Structure 1
Amino acid sequence: MLFYGEKGNPDAPAVARNGLEATKKYDVRIVDTAGRHALESDLIQEMKDIHAIVNADHKILVKDAALGQQASEQAKAFNEAVQITGVIITKLDGTAKGGGALSAVAETKTSVAFIGVGETPNDLERFEADRFISRLLGMGDIKTLVERAQEIQADEEVDVESLMRGKFTLKDMYKQMEAMNKLGPLKQIMQMLPMGGLGLELSDKEYQATKDRLDKYRVIMDSMTEAELEDPKIITASRMKRISVGSGTQPDVVRELLKAHQAMQKAIKGMRGGMGKMNMKRLMKKMGPGMKM
């Protein structure tokens, strides 16, 4: 992606004009103006001047989800200046729900084009009203979570037959952790779950501690042999010492991982016994094409 800018040039309209000339061979061009406040009349005029030069097909107003009543005032001033055609609401991965930013949509009589739930391009999501309202009410966003899981399942196969036989190895656990990691930041995943009514609130420190622990588990499993991953029962005290040295962790953390694996294995066996083989197969089929039957 080509970026055009002129370091040290304070004449924003001139930079916009030069940038259009330098990028004229491209079909899609985005002109990003500096952040400004509705009360800064000189910057509003500058935005009008840029608009007159660019003559953009779409004028997108980007609003912070944490912005309260000021959102409406700013949206009104910007809309009067350049006629806004859409809104992007950012920072919805934080504690803000974006209710205040919706007033910007009402003021401009437009619609929300995208919502930002992180810091990377992949965190810019297409806006869907039902999902947004669900998040706003603390009901999570299961639909998005399922879509992400299905995308991952296309690349990662889960051997359901082995699971139904009660075989759940450390390799299976590793795959589950890798898939969880691909879903996105732990905090973002938790916010998609319908736990608003449960009053479950984890601090950033607790999220980070959980992530750090899962990262340690992956490093520990990377330090194991293929045989140990397939059958954790062969891990003796001497093997555990070797694994802890290789992974740079304490033996207690290795024991903790093995206990976590045993608990997950027990849960899988319980599911197998309670659901029955055919019901579990149907469940796995519904979960997506990545399931190996």
Structure 2
Amino acid sequence: MLSLLSSSLNQAVQKLLGRTVTDVTLREYLRDIQRALIKADVDVNLVLNLTESIKKSAFNPPPGVTRKDHILYLTYKELVKLLGEKPVHPTLKRDSTVFLLVGIQGSGKTTTVAKLANFYKNKNYKVGVVCADTYRPAAYEQLKQLLKNIDIPVWWEKGKSSIELASSGVKKLKEEGFNIILIDTAGRHRDESTLMSEMKLIHNSVNPDNTILVVDGTIGQEARRQAEAFHQQAPLGYIIVTKLDGAARGGGAISAVAATGAPIIFIGTGEALGDLEEFDPTRFVSRLLGYGDLKSLVERVSRIEESVSEEKIRAMMQGRLTLEDLVTQMESLTKLGPLSSILSMLPGGFKVRQSIDTEEIENKVRKWKAILNSMTPKERSEPSIINSSRVRRIARGAGVEERDVRDLLKNYYRMRSLIKRIRGRRDFRKLLRGMSGT
């Protein structure tokens, strides 16, 4: 997430930590911070105000605090202030809460509706979606496709206007006892007066509890102008910033939106339904500066429904590791989200992320799963029978190269060998005894 900005800020921090703090080094540090933020499309005036605030107090640390630590604290505090300071959560009613989602074309609004539906379903709310987009023929089908595997209904009727769809859909879902009702609307641009007026009519017809603007993180400072234009038509309660997994200008988008006063409640960090995070400025800045965000990582882990039983762990650690075990565990890791995103949540994770090719690892896991599906049950349980002819057949069935099959087998035997080596250790034997209750 915002890897370029995070890397630039961290380089500035590491450079400061390796030197004595003087007027010269402070000036260089602040210049590095300015370059990093401006490159991320943060407004120049906001950047200058931020670095000026750091400069004013840099040489006046409280008793017992070093200058370096004080400067880092000031940097952290000013960045948090720039991004909104405190996390905000949408207000939910006891019976039903209606969310109206609006945004420009291509902002990822429809996908965000699905992510938000998934988020509230995981919190045990009864969630329903209304498709009020009559301009994009595939909108209804896209929503159905996104939500079909998590059993969330999408309401839509052919021949109705967007205003009729929104009002009728909300009424229907309320009657059926849905707690959370999300309305997806057509994408529009701030210069399209007809569509903007229609959005106002939709807002007035359903009187939503929360109006949310979905903003594309790649548009940088333009996000502020978009937010202000939408706010003129329908009062915005909250904002969601999307596509931050690959947005070089995402810092600019977030800071620009924060400057409007409308709180950011979620950020989109990937393509999967689970890649929607509640926005907490303090945790966000911690990750930008390389201090990690273990809380977000724990939250992602807790959302994974599949878990490995204690019996399975014990069997694996006693040497009864199968190919399926290896691939299942690697696949569980990828369910946390993009590996680069996971690493950014760990303290110092940016260093690890820069030293490995996370995309290559994720591609390898996808290949391994296809290879596993191409094997017979006997091959999966007894890899030792896989000879050259079997390797060729498995590779053809999986659509991969023969070397990919051999790579999986090599890693499997390597893992088994590692487990065998540590089985004799005293602390390991103690762990197994603890698991068996003896």
Does the pair score TM above 0.5?
yes
Question: Are the equivalent residues in 2 in contact too, given 1:62–1:89 (CA < 8 A)?
Answer: yes
Q: 2:298 aligns with which of 146, 154, 175?
A: 146
- Tell me which residue corresponds to 1:70: 222
Q: Cα deviations across residues 199-252 of structure 1 (Å, max 9, x unaligned)?
A: 61777xx72x544433332333344455544454x336xx34224313415543
Name the TM-score, length of structure 1 as normaliser. 0.72
The Cα shift of 1:64 comes to 1.5
1:25 aligns with 2:172: yes
The separation in 2 between residues aligned to 1:20 and 1:217, in whole angstroms, is: 45
CA RMSD of aligned residues (A): 4.0
Name the TM-score, length of structure 2 as normaliser. 0.51
Q: Which aligned pairs between 1:1-80 and structure 2 lie closer than 5 A?
A: 1-6=129-134, 15-23=161-169, 24-27=171-174, 28-30=181-183, 32-37=185-190, 44-80=196-232
Q: Cα deviations across residues 43-90 of structure 1 (Å, max 9, x unaligned)?
A: 555544444444332221211122322222332333344322111111
The separation in 2 between residues aligned to 1:219 and 1:31, in whole angstroms, is: 35
The separation in 1 between residues aligned to 2:184 and 2:382, in whole angstroms, is: 57
Q: Cα deviations across residues 86-135 of structure 1 (Å, max 9, x unaligned)?
A: 11111122244732233344333232222222335433333334443334
- Tell me which residue corresponds to 1:288: none
Unaligned runs of 5+ in 1: 9-13, 286-292
The separation in 1 between residues aligned to 2:355 and 2:215, in whole angstroms, is: 25
Q: Which aligned pairs between 1:122-161 and structure 2 lie closer than 5 A?
A: 122-152=274-304, 154-157=306-309, 159-161=312-314
- Tell me which residue corresponds to 2:350: 196
Q: 1:226 to 1:61 in 2, by over 3 A?
A: closer
Q: 1:16 to 1:274 in 2, by over 3 A?
A: same
Question: Are the equivalent residues in 2 in contact too, given 1:240–1:254 (CA < 8 A)?
Answer: no
Identity %: 37
1:183 aligns with 2:336: yes
| 1:218 counterpart letter in structure 2 | K
| 2:369 counterpart letter in structure 1 | R
Q: 1:54 to 1:230 in 2, by over 3 A?
A: closer
The secondary structure found in structure 2 opposite 1:30 is strand
Q: 1:146 to 1:116 in 2, by over 3 A?
A: same
Q: 1:254 to 1:131 in 2, by over 3 A?
A: same
The Cα shift of 1:181 comes to 4.2
The secondary structure found in structure 1 opposite 2:308 is coil
1:258 aligns with 2:258: no
The Cα shift of 1:139 comes to 4.8
The separation in 1 between residues aligned to 2:317 and 2:204, in whole angstroms, is: 66
Question: Are the equivalent residues in 1 in contact too, given 2:292–2:345 (CA < 8 A)?
Answer: yes
- Tell me which residue corresponds to 1:169: 322
Q: 1:137 to 1:280 in 2, by over 3 A?
A: farther
Query: What is the aligned length?
Result: 275
Q: 1:30 to 1:3 in 2, by over 3 A?
A: closer
The secondary structure found in structure 1 opposite 2:161 is helix
1:218 aligns with 2:365: no
Q: 1:275 to 1:228 in 2, by over 3 A?
A: farther
The separation in 2 between residues aligned to 1:229 and 1:148, in whole angstroms, is: 30
Q: 1:272 to 1:35 in 2, by over 3 A?
A: farther
State which drifts further: 99-108 or 194-203.
194-203
The separation in 1 between residues aligned to 2:416 and 2:284, in whole angstroms, is: 36
The separation in 1 between residues aligned to 2:280 and 2:300, in whole angstroms, is: 15
Question: Are the equivalent residues in 2 in contact too, given 1:67–1:101 (CA < 8 A)?
Answer: yes
Q: Which aligned pairs between 1:53-132 and structure 2 lie closer than 5 A?
A: 53-96=205-248, 98-132=250-284
The separation in 1 between residues aligned to 2:355 and 2:317, in whole angstroms, is: 35
